[in-house]
Structure 1
Amino acid sequence: MTGINRRQLGMGLGAAALGAALGGRGAGAQNLPATAPGAAGGAADALAFPADFLWGCATAAYQIEGGVKEDGRGETNWDVFSHTPGKTTDGGTGDIACGSYHRYEEDIALLKALGAKAYRFSVAWSRIFPEGRGKPNQKGLDYYNRLIDGLLAAGIQPHMTLFHWDLPTSLKGGWQSRDTAYAFADYAGYMAGKVSDRVKHIMTVNELRCFTDLSYMTGGKAPGLKLPMDQVNQIRHHGVLAHGLGVQAIRAGARADTEVGIADNATIFVPAIETSEHIEATKKAMREENAMFLTAIMEGHYLDSYLTAQGANAPKVKAGDMKAIGSALDFVSLNIYTPNFVRAADTPTGYEILPHLANSPRMASPWLYVGPEALYWGVRTVSELWQPKKIYISENGCSADDPVAKDGKVYDADRVMYLRNYLTHLQRAAREGYPVEGYFLWSLMDNFEWEDGYTKLFGIHHVDFKTLKRTPKLSADWYRELIRTNRLV
């Protein structure tokens, strides 16, 4: 369904109320019918999502697969990092994780039991090219073919991410090397040619900030370096270049009906007050604060303000780089967890980012401040700034303490609270006609949570990491009902 059609649905609001909700957008607001997408018998349902809305779950290869030395898989930066003493909580590694390399059929069964329509997973680059490039590993490809075929047999759409941080260590220099971007493009083109007969949605890379800034500037993620800003900016450039070259390679190798996008954790801004001046400040912040990543990708150039601010530390750009980086996308996927609040201010930028306070609400992870409005404003600002054809929420969810009750169940009412509140704001975005097409809950199950090891749990299925048994949590029951009814519950 197009954004125009969704906008015209009106969700059962009166014309005046709807016009106010839309903030004056759309000349036809006075004539909107009082029917809701997906509502039975045409009756209005203010809690419903569009009838064709895509519900799914998300995971990542290193976080769930295990089998790190099986069937020819090559070593990655996270294998090295997690085995370095002191780098992860309690020395946790992804050696076994959820054992999904052997239990993928169980995971498909979990998705089917939820009624999920789609599954976002990532491919372990080093399973396909153990050395990062060169001769492909057929056994690695066979695994993903089994996974894809199993999903399709269960009526679940595969949405594939090609890089979710697990970089083959044989690629010397990692993201410090421009050559890694070319190696990624080769890998992306190869995979597209092998799976695009069945996989119709391919994302290049996941969360540019995490495998650049958090890996090479602050050092909390693999490879754990703290480099000067001139090198960090060049690494950022190699990351967006890999994405752009990857888009080109996928289009060259894939079938014509393959849709290509990115999964990015753009910094999301929310107006402190929903007035025109604060909304405009929010859009300025979104564009400026994401200048080195999503803004460059969507506009095909670096903002002058970014280059001026970096000065001598600005990235070195070669001819043709920005054209590749700005390659047209079929969709933009956003990983959204937490907001940053913005107010209009008399500053050179025209905005001020308000600090999170000591008593600001957050979930178990210290960084995970709660702000449900982030889903609405993330979709709205990206849509209004860059007009992507489609937007997906490729990740949203939360960590929680998740104690196991005496009956073996996890009653994670706090996660249900979080999800219900966030999805209320996503429903607002869909109701107002922004082109949000689907939502992937992070995560299908508890898993290896990077530097936090196994101490931060994001899953809607509990995993006993001794036996690897999966058990639905209360949040899984809630999500199943939401998917079944296609409305907030």
Structure 2
Amino acid sequence: MARITTSGAGSPDERRAFARDLGGRLPEGFELGVTTSAFQIEGATHEGGRGESVWDAFSQEAGRIADGSTADRAADHFHRMPEDVALMQGLGIDTYRFSFSWPRLQAEGRGALRSSGTDFYERLLDRLDAAGIRSFATLFHWDTPAALGPGWFSRDTALRFGDYAFALGERFGDRIGRWATIEEPATVTFAGHAIGVHAPGATRLFNALPVAHHQLLGHGLAVQALRAAGVQGGIGIVNAHSPVVPETDSDADTAFAELYDVLQNRVYADAVLLGRYPQPPEGFEALFTALAEADPVDLALIGQPLDFYGLNYRFPTKIAAGSGVAATPDGGSAAMASLPFHFADWPEYPASGSGDPIAPEFLGTALRELAERYGSALPPVFVTANGVSFPDAVELEEGTGTPRVHDGLRIDYLARHLDEAVGAAASAGVDLRGYFVRSLLDDFGWEAGFTRRSGIVHVDFDEFTRKPKDSFAWLRLLAESR
């Protein structure tokens, strides 16, 4: 194994001092947590009657995954869940944000919940309860059952999702502290159905917008179903917000930046928080026909009041006019050449292990944009996922021979982003309730396979052993310092 360290700019003592200071500045009741997703960590894809998901099928297609891997074992969480909960208990966090595996619970995307799936999640919740850790469950994190055929391109999937939500609400409604309906519908629409770098690999470009509407309709039906089932926890949705800027102040760059902001951010937040879709930018009205024709009954369902809004942040987006494929945020796609704009580089910022700009101030921008755009319609907010990949590796500590993972850059990343989030929320009047690190474990990184490490716990993907990184110890100190 290559011995690569990621020492950051600060010294260990400086990082520890900052953790103590930042912990002392967190608002009373502010939640700290970690997040994962079922497909990325569970494995056991052929056990207990679990059905195939679109990501299982996508991963088996040649050239789809960077290293040719699959998530058949992922981080083996299905078998090692007690160990992972014990790690979280030792970390001292408040809340664990996980996702249910739809195909593990309904192999065909419909029908009764499978006992092999519900039994696993009952055991997980039992362990979390015993450890004093709150549960924050996501109904859907991208693993659409393959048996649903066209998936979210079909309105029927929204109806099936509502049924699925009701079944889960009935089964776990008294055990879950917080419910998120759908994870990043913008990513599913754009990466999975517009440019094809995520499952199911469709390249519909602007014709993918029905996928956005059907996911949002599914969200609305799920909110209705969870409330009908009498769940005790709060209900919300999670989306990836990316502040958008034009590469230059030219009319073309500015127009396409506005277009992308609507596609990435406002289509979803406006519909959920205001009960309507945004007006298309001038000159682009024809692209939004599918949303302009949305049934008002659908919009009323989509716009039901929520208990919280989840914001995932990774990086800002810079838009330039003209086609190009080199700098897409999801690794590049031939379909991008058919779009009239492209993603420009950020030479002014350092890059993460996946090549994305590290720009914590834009997390503050995202929070301020939410406040400015939605005002009193914005419910309490959680930063539901924030994290970074770096090429860290296990090393033997000099003099002791103790295995360690020194990931100082990840510590610096988390510290700067959390600090920015707390300060920006306070100045903008956003009721920020918590911050979740992405991810607890090194995992299957979607189209990147196992080529990126994003966890605060190192996973050996041969032996599936766990080793907490320096960032794990830093987060524990932060939690202790509140």
* TM-score of Structure 1 vs Structure 2, range by shorter chain: 0.7 to 0.9
Q: Distance in 1 between matches of 2:239 and 2:32?
A: 19
- For 1:414, the aligned partner's letter is L
CA contact (8 A) 1:269 1:378 kept: no
Matches within 5 A, 1:206-245: 206-230=183-207, 232-245=208-221
Q: Which residue of 2 aligns with 1:365?
A: 354
Q: CA distance change for structure 1 residues 457 and 354 in 2, over 3 Å: closer, same or farther?
A: closer
Answer yes or no: is 1:332 the counterpart of 2:309: yes
Tell me how far 1:189 sits from its aligned partner. 1.3
Q: CA distance change for structure 1 residues 70 and 376 in 2, over 3 Å: closer, same or farther?
A: same
Answer yes or no: is 1:305 the counterpart of 2:284: no
Q: Secondary structure at the match of 1:465?
A: coil
Q: Which residue of 2 aligns with 1:420?
A: 415
Q: Secondary structure at the match of 2:477?
A: helix
Tell me how far 1:127 sits from its aligned partner. 1.3
CA contact (8 A) 1:189 1:254 kept: no
Tell me how far 1:234 sits from its aligned partner. 1.2
RMSD of aligned Cα (Å): 2.6
CA contact (8 A) 1:79 1:93 kept: yes
Q: Which residue of 2 aligns with 1:350?
A: none
CA contact (8 A) 2:192 2:199 kept: yes
Name structure 1 gaps, 5 residues minimum. Answer: 1-39, 273-281, 343-352
Q: CA distance change for structure 1 residues 208 and 117 in 2, over 3 Å: closer, same or farther?
A: same
Q: Which residue of 2 aligns with 1:205?
A: 182
Q: Distance in 1 between matches of 2:47 and 2:23?
A: 50
Q: Which residue of 1 aligns with 2:480?
A: 484
Q: CA distance change for structure 1 residues 355 and 313 in 2, over 3 Å: closer, same or farther?
A: same
Tell me how far 1:269 sits from its aligned partner. 4.8
CA contact (8 A) 1:269 1:374 kept: no
Q: Secondary structure at the match of 1:328?
A: coil
- For 2:123, the aligned partner's letter is R
Q: Which residue of 1 aligns with 2:28?
A: 51
Task: Decide which of 420, 445, 466 is 1:470's aligned counterpart.
Answer: 466
Q: Secondary structure at the match of 2:352?
A: coil
CA distances 1:161-188 after superposition (whole Å, capped 9, x unpaired): 0000001011121111110011011101
Matches within 5 A, 1:38-117: 48-117=25-94
Tell me how far 1:340 sits from its aligned partner. 4.0
Q: CA distance change for structure 1 residues 270 and 383 in 2, over 3 Å: closer, same or farther?
A: farther
CA contact (8 A) 2:242 2:314 kept: no
Q: Distance in 1 between matches of 2:447 and 2:307?
A: 33
Answer yes or no: is 1:452 the counterpart of 2:440: no
Q: Distance in 1 between matches of 2:296 and 2:408?
A: 53
CA contact (8 A) 1:160 1:202 kept: yes
Q: CA distance change for structure 1 residues 46 and 317 in 2, over 3 Å: closer, same or farther?
A: closer
Name structure 2 gaps, 5 residues minimum. Answer: 1-19, 248-256, 320-341, 398-402
Q: Distance in 2 between matches of 1:436 and 1:147?
A: 27
Tell me how far 1:258 sits from its aligned partner. 2.3
- For 2:350, the aligned partner's letter is P
CA contact (8 A) 2:44 2:78 kept: yes
Q: Distance in 2 between matches of 1:45 and 1:468?
A: 33
- For 1:397, the aligned partner's letter is G
Q: Distance in 2 between matches of 1:284 and 1:425?
A: 27
Q: Distance in 1 between matches of 2:168 and 2:380?
A: 23
Matches within 5 A, 1:374-413: 374-386=362-374, 387=376, 388-407=378-397, 408-413=403-408
Tell me how far 1:318 sits from its aligned partner. 2.8
Tell me how far 1:66 sits from its aligned partner. 0.4
CA distances 1:37-64 after superposition (whole Å, capped 9, x unpaired): xxx9xxx989510121100000000000
CA distances 1:353-375 after superposition (whole Å, capped 9, x unpaired): 99543453210112x21111122
Taking structure 2 as the reference length, the TM-score comes to 0.82
Q: Distance in 1 between matches of 2:156 and 2:167?
A: 17
Q: Which structure's relative contact order is higher, taking Cα pairs within 8 Å and 6+ residues apart?
A: 2
Task: Decide which of 168, 172, 178 is 1:191's aligned counterpart.
Answer: 168
CA contact (8 A) 1:82 1:93 kept: yes
CA contact (8 A) 2:258 2:281 kept: no
Q: Distance in 1 between matches of 2:92 and 2:306?
A: 28
Q: Which residue of 2 aligns with 1:25?
A: none
- For 2:303, the aligned partner's letter is G
Q: CA distance change for structure 1 residues 107 and 216 in 2, over 3 Å: closer, same or farther?
A: same
Answer yes or no: is 1:120 the counterpart of 2:81: no
How many residues of Structure 1 are paired with residues of Structure 2 in the alignment?
Answer: 423
Q: Which residue of 1 aligns with 2:13?
A: none
CA distances 1:72-124 after superposition (whole Å, capped 9, x unpaired): 11111011111111110121111001111111111101111110110000000
Q: CA distance change for structure 1 residues 338 and 228 in 2, over 3 Å: closer, same or farther?
A: closer
- For 2:448, the aligned partner's letter is D
Tell me how far 1:204 sits from its aligned partner. 0.4
Tell me how far 1:302 sits from its aligned partner. 1.2
Q: Secondary structure at the match of 1:204?
A: strand
Tell me how far 1:312 sits from its aligned partner. 5.9
Q: Distance in 2 between matches of 1:178 and 1:475?
A: 43
Q: Distance in 2 between matches of 1:73 and 1:156?
A: 27
Matches within 5 A, 1:24-43: none
Q: Secondary structure at the match of 2:311?
A: strand
CA contact (8 A) 1:375 1:426 kept: yes
Q: Distance in 1 between matches of 2:25 and 2:263?
A: 34
Tell me how far 1:303 sits from its aligned partner. 1.8
CA contact (8 A) 1:335 1:394 kept: yes
- For 2:351, the aligned partner's letter is R
Q: Secondary structure at the match of 1:293?
A: helix
Q: CA distance change for structure 1 residues 82 and 283 in 2, over 3 Å: closer, same or farther?
A: closer
Q: Which residue of 2 aligns with 1:266?
A: 241
Tell me how far 1:445 sits from its aligned partner. 1.0
CA contact (8 A) 1:129 1:135 kept: yes
Taking structure 1 as the reference length, the TM-score comes to 0.81
Tell me how far 1:310 sits from its aligned partner. 3.9
- For 2:422, the aligned partner's letter is Q
Tell me how far 1:285 sits from its aligned partner. 8.8
**Stretch of structure 1 that moved more, 398-407 or 60-69:** 398-407
CA distances 1:309-342 after superposition (whole Å, capped 9, x unpaired): 2416521423411111111111001111112479
